[in-house]
């Protein structure tokens, strides 16, 4: 007969429950739960501050429009917005975005405002990088509400970088005997947008693209002969939650937040770019920086 010192017997006694299993105390359970929450928050915070803001998403979309001239059928537009240079973005980010745009070989480049996050000096170190942008129909820009600390210097720096800055004015693009207008407005919140002035001299039957920083301005644009509006400003919400969407958006982007909209009761299409940079807080969550590549095609009835 085996005695109590036999290891096999001791093991059997343990398995049969001679010693009750240990259970978590309430304090241990709370500590474990708190640790799990902190760990999850740290992972999510790292993703939102380090990974997602540096992960560019290229969105490609084809838009069919009835009034588009045959000569511009297939035109590729690179649309980007809201760089917010000086707040978490710098010249290295510009080089990365410019390289991505040039790789797409666009016909036209449109930047829809908020080049800097305040000081125009933030653009000075990125002028040469932006100057590498290439597009046969032009590199155009407008101002956003964060661009007004020293607006005259900012415009000069953008022009030095190769941008044509549109402030309540338009340019006529011509190709193979056809023409289209691209108009740009001053910022709605801190500037003085004047759509009538911007469209002065554009025949009503001319296909017209409008660049306007705040997307909600589209509700006013439908009264005019505009076919496509490109906007930014909203950052797509910058932070979006599952099943909820954007947490908050700034004034001027309460109705139209991100992506493509057909404005009810009109022919106007609106595209809202999520932007490149961040502002307020250096986070993006479920809302990656965006470069939009729009291909215009003639809609045939």
pTM across the whole model: 0.84
The set of residues, in sequence order, having a beta carbon less than 8 Å from that of 144 and lying 6+ positions away, is: 81, 82, 112, 113, 114, 115, 187, 213, 232, 233
Average pLDDT rounded to a whole number, residues 185-205: 97
When mean pLDDT is compared across 92-106, 137-151, 233-247, the lowest value belongs to 233-247
**Residue 37: pLDDT band with limits 50, 70, 90:** very low
* pLDDT for res 12: 39
Beta strands 57-65 and 290-298, pairing class: parallel
The set of residues, in sequence order, having a beta carbon less than 8 Å from that of 57 and lying 6+ positions away, is: 288, 289, 290, 291
- For 146-180, what is each residue's pLDDT tens digit? 999 999 999 999 999 999 999 999 999 999 999 99
d(CA 125, CA 94): 10
Q: What is the largest CA-CA distance in the chain?
A: 111
> Both tokens of residue 155?
């415009």
- For 238-248, what is each residue's pLDDT tens digit? 999 898 999 88
The Cα angle at residue 172 between residues 171 and 178, in degrees rounded to 5: 165
* pLDDT for res 206: 97
């Amino acid at each position: 007969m085996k005695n109590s010192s036999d290891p096999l017997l001791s093991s059997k006694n343990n398995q049969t429950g001679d010693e009750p299993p240990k259970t978590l105390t309430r304090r241990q359970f709370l500590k474990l739960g708190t640790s799990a929450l902190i760990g999850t928050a740290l992972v999510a915070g790292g993703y939102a501050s380090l990974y997602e803001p540096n992960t560019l998403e290229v969105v490609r979309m084809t838009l069919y429009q009835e009034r588009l001239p045959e000569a511009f059928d297939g035109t590729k537009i690179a649309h980007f917005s809201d760089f917010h240079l000086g707040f978490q973005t710098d010249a290295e980010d510009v080089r990365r975005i410019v390289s991505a745009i040039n790789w797409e070989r666009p016909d036209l480049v449109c930047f829809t405002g908020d080049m800097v996050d305040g000081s125009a000096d933030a653009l000075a170190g990125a002028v040469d990088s932006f100057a590498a942008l290439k597009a046969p129909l032009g590199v155009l820009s407008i101002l956003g509400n964060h661009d007004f600390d020293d607006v005259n210097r900012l415009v000069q720096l953008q022009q030095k970088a190769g941008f044509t800055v549109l402030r309540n004015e338009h340019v006529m693009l011509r190709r193979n005997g056809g023409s289209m207008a691209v108009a740009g407005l001053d910022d709605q919140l801190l500037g003085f947008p004047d759509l009538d002035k911007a469209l002065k001299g554009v025949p009503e039957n001319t296909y017209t693209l409008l660049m306007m920083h705040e997307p909600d301005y589209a509700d006013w644009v439908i009264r005019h002969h505009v076919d496509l509006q490109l906007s930014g400003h909203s950052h797509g919400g910058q932070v979006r939650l599952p099943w909820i969407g954007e947490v908050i958006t700034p004034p001027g982007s309460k109705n139209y937040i991100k992506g493509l909209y057909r404005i009810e009761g009109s022919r106007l299409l609106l595209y809202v770019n999520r932007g490149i940079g961040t502002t307020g807080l250096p986070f993006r969550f479920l809302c990656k920086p965006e470069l939009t590549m729009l291909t215009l095609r003639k809609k045939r009835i």
